[in-house]
Amino acid sequence: MSIAENIQAIRARMDAAARAAGRDPGEIQLCAATKMNDAARVREAVLGGVDCCGENRVQELSEKQPLGAYEGRPVHFIGHLQTNKVNKVVGKVDLIQSVDRLELLECVSKAALRLGVRQDILLEINIGQEPQKGGFTEDEARTLAARMGDYPGVFLRGLMAIPPISEKEGDNCKYFAKMRQLFIDIAAKKYDNVDMVCLSMGMSDDFEDAIAEGSTMVRVGTAIFGARHYQ
């Protein structure tokens, strides 16, 4: 199957999952997780109809962007971001989904102010409370959302999570449900510098469950591009 055919098949599954949950399929976006795929393949995904692209590594972003890989679609940063590489990302992407620690939040806000831009971000939540993973706890996110006015270089657009690797289908529903509740709670507060529009959760193996639990953006790599071959 071609990349475009894979995208069509995923869309059909997304739409079915949305309808089964009584949701409007139009409110759920498909983000192509493009890591380890070159500019030509990313281009195929854009032309194949994904809503946006998500890059994990700064180097890949810096290589593919000048080649026009994402043209016509927003590009997001979705990977671990080192503070010394923030200048290569801020102002160059439409959304940084993976703001996973206070130091990074401060650094992104300052970089955006220097550039005279407002950087849209999501807070990444360590929803499975896994010690080896980055991300805020739910309590930290609630506290931080109330203080977003202290970070005038950024605008908080929502939340992102990568739940634990599941053993069996449906295992992650409880984490997705927690994310939805956190998302709804923060949205209800109407804080300064916050507009909760994006709940980014669900990947190749579990995007239907994520949609059932309220995801507004799924990030799909393998199901679009095939297996990645790490060396």
Ligand X SMILES: *Cc1c(COP(=O)(O)O)cnc(C)c1O
Q: How many helices (H) and strands (E) does the chain have?
A: 8, 8
Residue 10 structure tokens: 């995923």
User: Interface residues for ligand X in 37-56 (CB under 6 A)?
Assistant: 56
CB of 152 to ligand X, least distance (A): 27
C-beta closer to ligand X: residue 18 or 201 = 201
Least separation in angstroms between residue 188's CB and ligand X is: 27
Q: Which two tokens stand for residue 95?
A: 């959304």
The minimum distance between CB 116 and ligand X, in angstroms, equals 29
Quick check: 222 binds ligand X (CB under 6 A)? Answer: yes
- What residues are paired with 159 via a beta bridge? 123, 199
Q: Which residue is nearest to ligand X (CB)?
A: 221
Minimum separation from the CB atom of position 218 to ligand X (A): 8
Location of structure tokens 């994402």: 70
Q: Which is nearer to ligand X, 166 or 193 (CB)?
A: 166
219 is a site residue for ligand X (CB under 6 A)? yes
- Residue whose entry in the numeric block shows the structure tokens 């890059």: 55
Q: What is the CA radius of gyration of the chain?
A: 17
Distance CA 47, CA 56 (A): 21
**CB distance 35 to 55 below 8 Å:** yes
Residue of the chain from 7, 69, 75, 78 that contacts ligand X (CB under 6 A): 78
Among 35, 57, 110, 133, binds ligand X (CB under 6 A): 35
For ligand X, the binding residues in 185-214 under the rule CB under 6 A are 203-205
Among 50, 162, 198, 212, binds ligand X (CB under 6 A): 162
33 scored as a contact of ligand X (CB under 6 A): yes
Nearest residue to 141 (alpha-carbon basis) of 129, 83, 153: 129
Q: Are 44 and 36 in contact (CB under 8 A)?
A: no
At 29, list the tokens.
Answer: 């976006």
Q: Which residues bind ligand X (CB under 6 A)?
A: 33, 35, 56, 78-79, 162, 203-205, 219-223
